[in-house]
Structure 1
Amino acid sequence: MRFSASAPDVRKALSGSEVQIARSVTAGMRQVADGLKEDLRDDVRKAGFGQRLANTWRGRTFPTSGESVDAAAYVSSNAPKLIDAFDRGVTISAKGGKYLAIPTADAGVRQVSARRAKGSTGSGLTPAAWERETGVKLRFVPTRTGGVLVADAYYRRQAARFQRRKSFKAIREAGPASDRSFVVIFVLVRQAKLRKRLDIDAVAHAWAEKVPGAIAANWQA
């Protein structure tokens, strides 16, 4: 996902040399790029997604060096599909009669490194990755809306070779509770609705309106 902002034709509005105009326009557009980037990052953080996703927003100013009366600000995300999904609020459906596997808090972690994902399309935690990392087999239990994948409550301890890994939290044993013979690790559904949690257009439009003021603030007669 990308946003760009260009300076209006300021030659008529500002009286001065081409160098003076280029200097104020370029400085103003740099401020717009930085401000838009930081506000978009803040929008992600306020939505509860954390700093890692927020940092996918990057800003640049063109030209990358020197000054120009045609300077422009350019802000984009390195995770455009994810950002777009939570900006629009989309419905994700499983393909081929399969299920979407949504990890619960008892899974211990929601993501694994790309190297550990092994064959999955992203870094999201999959049942296969969970079984491989923990050494525990999951069991399917059908429900009216799909099903759940459960692990025996007495054998949830993480495999010893993974207990010190920072990217996969240790899974504690539930203990001998007579009313809890298993714990739900994944919920299986045919489709999932992602509610809209970002408002990117509002942030972008707010900064677009600030472009003339940013240029004027950097004007040196």
Structure 2
Amino acid sequence: MTRFSAQVPDIRAALKGDEVRIATSITAGMQQVTDGLKADLRSEVTGAGLGQRLANTWRGQTFPTAGVSADAAAYVSTKAAKLIDAFDRGATIRAQNKKYLAIPTDEAGVKHISISKGSGRITPAVWERETGIKLRFVPSKTGGVLVAPARYRRQAIRFQKRKSFKPIKEGAADKGRDFVVIFVLVPQVKLRKRLDVDATAKRWAARVPAAIEANWKA
């Protein structure tokens, strides 16, 4: 997991009052920082076009989990650390075992499927199984493509977000068009940096003193 933590600054001397009030102010402040950081990290993911599902992997927790403490701490983490890190750094993803990465094109119809026995990003094997159409490999200098007969056409836009589909076939192929590209095969892909998790975490860590002070005054 990717983790971020914020330490409570030593402000007890500045907050003159009973211990319970100090502990309450610190705990409430850390809870607000936790919620704010989690919300901003989730917004950053969705704003980068990476989807709500990945955004929801960010979770936050404040310690102690019950009661109040002058030593309260904030803890924010993600259950998709490798994926978040890849988009945070702009990592290069390479195919394993000297194989290719298969990237579906718009002609594939859908990018993800959900069927009774499983779900996930569509693969050439799954596409062939779901459509009943055999793909043909055409090599290229950088990898290759997997193509289907031209009588297959991609589904209408209104169907492309579905997670299951049936093939739609044309009565005849377009003139001069023998096949359509369903997957592009490449040895590696470079992910564009879309996130800046460290900057977001530092911004909220800097807000800890103000959050505690606001609760103290309240």
Normalized against structure 1, the TM-score is what? 0.87
Structural mapping, 1:206-221, within 5 Å: 206-220=203-217
Q: 1:195 aligns with which of 192, 196, 199?
A: 192
**Which region of structure 1 is more displaced relative to structure 2, 49-58 or 31-40?**
49-58
In structure 2, what residue type is equivalent to 1:167? Answer: K
**Structure 1 position 143 matched with structure 2 position 140:** yes
Percent identity over the alignment is 64
* 1:167 aligned partner: 163
Distance 1:106-1:40 versus aligned 2 partners, 3 A rule:
same
**Structure 1 position 154 matched with structure 2 position 151:** yes
SS in 2 for 1:40: helix
In structure 1, what residue type is equivalent to 2:131? Answer: T
Structural mapping, 1:45-124, within 5 Å: 45-113=46-114, 115-116=117-118, 123-124=120-121
In structure 2, what residue type is equivalent to 1:135? Answer: G
Distance 1:53-1:68 versus aligned 2 partners, 3 A rule:
same
Which stretches in structure 1 are left out of the alignment for 5+ residues? 118-122
CA RMSD of aligned residues (A): 2.2
SS in 2 for 1:58: strand
**Structure 1 position 20 matched with structure 2 position 17:** no
Deviation at residue 156 of structure 1 after TM alignment? 5.2
SS in 1 for 2:112: coil
Give the whole-Å Cα distance in 2 for the aligned partners of 1:21 and 1:215. Answer: 9
Give the number of the structure whose residues are more often strand, by fraction. Answer: 2
Give the whole-Å Cα distance in 2 for the aligned partners of 1:56 and 1:19. Answer: 34
**Which region of structure 1 is more displaced relative to structure 2, 91-100 or 168-177?**
168-177
Paired residue total: 211
Provide, for residues 155-200 of structure 1, a one-character-per-residue CA deviation record: whole Å limited to 9, x for no partner: 4589xxxx9x941245544663113221111110111111111110
Deviation at residue 113 of structure 1 after TM alignment? 4.1
Normalized against structure 2, the TM-score is what? 0.89
Give the whole-Å Cα distance in 2 for the aligned partners of 1:180 and 1:3. Answer: 53
Give the whole-Å Cα distance in 1 for the aligned partners of 2:153 and 2:134. Answer: 10
Give the whole-Å Cα distance in 2 for the aligned partners of 1:33 and 1:196. Answer: 25
Give the whole-Å Cα distance in 2 for the aligned partners of 1:127 and 1:95. Answer: 16
SS in 1 for 2:45: helix
Flag as ranges the 4+ runs of structure 1 deviating above 3 A: 112-115, 155-158, 169-176
Give the whole-Å Cα distance in 2 for the aligned partners of 1:73 and 1:172. Answer: 52
In structure 1, what residue type is equivalent to 2:108? Answer: A
